[in-house]
Amino acid sequence: MESTPRYGSHLSIAGGMHRALEEAMRLGLGSLQVFTRNQRQWRAPPLTAEAAKAWRHAVKATGWSDPAARIVSHNSYLVNLASPDREARRRSITRQLDELERCETLGIGACVLHPGAHLGVSRTPREPNRLGAAPSKDELLGLRRIARSLDELHRSLPGYAVISCLETTTGSGTNLGYDFSHLATIRSMVAQPERVAICLDTCHIVAAGYDMSTPRLAKGVLDEFDERCGIESLRVVHVNDSVGAVASRKDIHTHIGQGICGDACFAAILSRRELCGVPMILETPKDGLCNGSPWDLANIQRLETIRRLRRTRTRARAVASVWVMVMCALGAITACSVGGCSIFQSKRAAQAPNTTPRRVVAANPTVEENAALETAGTLQLRGYHDEALALFEDLLAKNPLLPEAFVGVGDVRFAQGRYGDAEPNYRRAAKLDPAAYGAQYGHGRSLQMLGRAAESIGAYQRALAANPKSAEVNLNMATAYLSLGDARAASRYGERAVELSPKNAAAHVNLGVAYERLGRAADAIARYQTASELMTPTPQLLMNLVNAYVADRRYPEAVNTAVALTKLASGPETFERLGWAEFRAGNYELSSAAYRQAVVLDPKYWPAWNGIGVNALNRWLASDKRDGEAAAEARRAFRASMNSLPDQPKVLKLCTTYGL
């Protein structure tokens, strides 16, 4: 049995699929997830013999004895096997067939796919996902369509080894798969259930309503999965933390330890004996570095720490005590008695109360202070914030002129999301040592998080003076200038960030936003496309792409991207963008349908009501004002919009001009 989980990541195939394998080897990963083709398009060039050969050569170079069990593909977000539209479902089946054929050719053992959206009556945004309840009529019909689609795929590909892995979802809009029972139902319906497995996404299940914040709750969720689906059906795990709260339905991934999933969630999965050998794939942001290390490695280190050390709060404190004993043995610090004072106490605590401070300006830390700073820094990196904070504060109690300790306190508070507490500590450190990069950078980003963008720019300028090659600072400068409306300055810093860190997806996105605001739509599209190859596309990234395609008059691509957007995040905002893209493409009936779906999801979403109104108004005018039904619909839509947002001069003018 393997002693370490098969940690992996979704990596870019830019430059060829084999590049992802080479990057996985460079990072020392034990598994990998890739797109086998451009996931934003329905059609793609066939897999060439040269590409397949380069891939097989790279697979052999990994030295993996079982690569099919370690390499995973993720299919296109465009695919919807649950669609009630026969033509749309036929197109999805064709797309999935191509994906499975590619996997079989390349020796990829599992293909992850989202189950799909039934596109019928959806729950309201405030109605909770009723986990464990019987599926609604529309949900059941959607589950049956998925099963029939899978059966058709299996009949078309007899004897194929690749497994289709249905991924858990957040349950937004009409998406299926948010309930374990949905996945169990699909597997029970297909003729060959052995060809269908499950991919569990930690962010998705928590956002769907499965609370795993304590060891007891986390174990209960996995036991429920085992009872409904069978733990042996779990072939892939996406280990992502969640920005969205429990039952929020928000699909927003973040770094391990920076969301709300909780250590118990990851500890339960990583310590589950039956999951030994299952690929544990990160789909977290790849932006920049974490203390000089790629984010994937930082997240894996965090997962390993959780698996080995932090099962309970008591275990965390025990680890901290081990660090104390090590330092004590080295003579660097002495521990307090178990009386209730701070965890650490410096040898200098024995100085007389009236002793004159040893220095009045910042200086290099002493050997003792360096040892304590290193200990605190290690604890902080491992996520033991309380223990690290206690040590940093103890250092400052003995030496209030130690900038490194102020930076440490700032780093802890920033990691906890307490930006108002982080800022004065960074500011104090910067005052003590104006040339300290960490102090100035920390001060800048805390100011930025507090909405004080103009002030943050000054701190970032000082950080660049200390380290002009910092991609993180250039990236944050671009973001700050964008928030201040200065796209030209933002583009300069964005270009520098991309130059310094060409694989930083966030840098490409920021630069794309700057280009878009400067009217350079084609350049913006190029940046967004590069970002989507470097990261798992987010709803906001796809939204940006839709806007840029429309600005560049590339309407079919705008529509295709908007369709993918609604699959990724089925909300009123995304359907409104689809309606807008269809309108610009001249597909007015499809535009109206998308706008209507938006107001079904949120009856007060006024932009979609305006879209319905404009389409109806155009139909009325095209009929030489004879289509009374269109005029009535326009009148109802504009009134619904103004009921939600009364202050709309343009809408009022339209109604007045046309007597609506």
> Which residues carry out catalysis?
40, 74, 77, 114, 167, 201, 204, 238, 251, 253, 283
Query: Which residue, chain included where needed, has tokens 């969640």?
Result: 242
Report H helices in 260-360.
263-270, 295-308, 313-329
Structure tokens at 140: 């059941």
- In angstroms, the CA 12 to CA 503 distance is 9
- In angstroms, the CA 545 to CA 31 distance is 30
**Please, are residues 512 and 527 in contact by the beta-carbon 8 Å criterion?**
yes
- In angstroms, the CA 293 to CA 314 distance is 29
Structure tokens at 534: 């470097």
Structure tokens at 321: 């005590």
Strand partners, 164: 111, 196
**Please, are residues 176 and 567 in contact by the beta-carbon 8 Å criterion?**
no
Query: DSSP labels for 189-201?
Result: HSS-GGGEEEEEE
Looking at this protein, which amino acid is placed at residue 655?
Answer: C
Spell out the residues 6+ positions from residue 253 whose beta carbon is closer than 8 angstroms to its own: 203, 240, 241, 242, 243, 259, 283, 284, 285, 536
Angle at CA of residue 245, ends 243 and 249, nearest 5°: 90
Closest to 482 in 3D by CA, of 474, 473, 490: 490
Structure tokens at 115: 């189950």
Spell out the residues 6+ positions from residue 292 whose beta carbon is closer than 8 angstroms to its own: none
Query: For residue 208, what is the enclosing H or E element?
Result: helix 202-208
Closest to 129 in 3D by CA, of 161, 89, 175: 175
